[in-house]
């Protein structure tokens, strides 16, 4: 049975486990870091090629998520830089995304996500990384500092700044849409 064949290598089993457990989230993280739907699979592949190569050298006690997300963040960073060098916009325009319209995804959902990406696009990239890892991927701040290889305090101040800006941008957006519909949306500045 092929089962026994591939079971015999613990390293491959470990890789498979990491893939099964984390690939969807790495994918999502790359998307929120500004990787376009058209590029995300390629980039995710690059991340896991690195994972495959380096996983067996990872210390058993090393924080896996921090390590993994660190790779993803660096890949996204390189991607952005290369896109910039090619004089492209860092992210593709959202309206033309060819991605599969997730089953049952409502238009509202889609709009909300597009809005999120627009707001994220306005963040400083370093702040965006912390914000995405904390608010969406739900990493701990220690994990984030490890993933980004920055002091914990730096991670905190980036989070703080990102939150402030995101809240302000959301407030503006809310006020705008309230203005459009004429309905007050309460509790705003």
Interaction with another protein in 8-37: which residues (CB under 8 A)? Answer: 9-14, 16-17, 19-21, 23-25, 27-28, 31-32
Give residues 130-169 in contact with another protein (rule: CB under 8 A).
134-136, 138, 140-141, 152-153, 156, 159, 163, 166-167
Count of chain residues binding another protein (CB under 8 A): 73
Question: Residue 82 or residue 124: which is nearer to another protein going by CB?
Answer: 82
Rounded to the nearest 10 degrees, what angle do helices 152-181 and 107-121 cross at?
Answer: 130
Place of tokens 């238009």: 107
C-beta separation of 43 from 143 below 8 A: no
**Burial of residue 64 (number of CB atoms within 10 Å: 0-12, 13-18, 19+):** middle
Among 87, 100, 180, 183, binds another protein (CB under 8 A): 100
Question: Residue 126 or residue 130: which is nearer to another protein going by CB?
Answer: 130
For 187, the token pair is 């509790």
Residues 38-67 vs another protein: string with x where CB under 8 A?
xxxxxxxxx-xxx-xx------x-------
Query: What's the rounded Cα separation, in Å, for the pair 26 and 11?
Result: 20
Angle at 95 between CA 108 and CA 188, to 5 degrees: 45
Query: What's the rounded Cα separation, in Å, for the pair 12 and 140?
Result: 28
Question: Residue 17 or residue 124: which is nearer to another protein going by CB?
Answer: 17
- Is residue 84 a contact point for another protein (CB under 8 A)? no
**CB of residue 69 to another protein, shortest distance in Å:** 15
């Amino acid at each position: 049975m092929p089962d026994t064949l591939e079971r015999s290598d613990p390293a491959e089993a470990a890789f498979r486990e990491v893939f099964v457990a984390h690939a969807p989230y790495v994918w999502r993280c790359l998307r929120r870091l500004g990787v376009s739907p058209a590029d995300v699979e390629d980039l995710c592949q690059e991340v896991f090629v690195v994972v495959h190569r380096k996983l067996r050298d990872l210390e058993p006690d090393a924080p896996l998520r921090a390590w993994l997300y660190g790779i993803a963040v660096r890949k996204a960073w390189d991607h952005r830089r290369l896109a910039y060098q090619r004089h492209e916009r860092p992210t593709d325009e959202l309206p033309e995304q060819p991605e599969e319209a997730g089953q049952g995804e409502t238009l509202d959902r889609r709009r909300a996500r597009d809005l999120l990406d627009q707001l994220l696009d306005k963040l400083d990239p370093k702040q965006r990384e912390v914000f995405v890892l904390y608010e969406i991927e739900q990493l701990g701040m220690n994990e984030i500092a490890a993933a980004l290889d920055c002091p914990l305090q730096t991670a905190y101040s980036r989070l703080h700044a990102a939150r402030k800006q995101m809240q302000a941008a959301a407030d503006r957006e809310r006020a705008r849409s309230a203005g459009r519909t004429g309905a007050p949306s309460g509790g705003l500045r």
